[in-house]
Amino acid sequence: MTTNTQATAKSSALLSVLFVALLGGTILFVAGHAQSAALHDAAHDVRHATGFPCH
């Protein structure tokens, strides 16, 4: 029973980790790497100043 609860807690913690990592990765992709012209122009200076491949 205790083992089951611990296992559930651990897998829910890992799910949270995965969710937060995916959220971070998605924002990083959209703000830093997505190639839409509007996004590129808006984020232009930061993309250059953060060392992302830009043009």
Partner 1 sequence: MIQRMVTSALIAGFVAGLLAALLHFAFVQQYILLGEQYESGALTHFDAAHSTSDHGAMTAPSEGDDHAAQSHDDDAGEASPLVRNSLTVVFAGLIYVAYALLLTAGFGLAQSFGIAITAREGLLWGIAGFVSFQLAPALGLAPELPGTIAADLTARQIWWWGTALATGTGLALLAYGRGYLVWGAAVLLLAAPHIIGAPLPDGFWGVAPPEVGAMFSARVLGTALVVWAVLGWLAGRLWSQENT
Binding site for partner 1 (CB under 8 A): 10, 12-14, 16-21, 23-28, 31-33, 35, 41-43, 45-55
Q: Which is nearer to partner 1, 1 or 49 (CB)?
A: 49
DSSP 8-state assignment for residue 37: H
DSSP 8-state assignment for residue 17: H
Q: Which is nearer to partner 1, 1 or 41 (CB)?
A: 41
Q: Which two tokens stand for residue 5?
A: 């609860």
Instruction: Please state the closest distance from residue 29 (CB atom) to partner 1, in A.
Output: 8
Q: Which two tokens stand for residue 42?
A: 């808006």
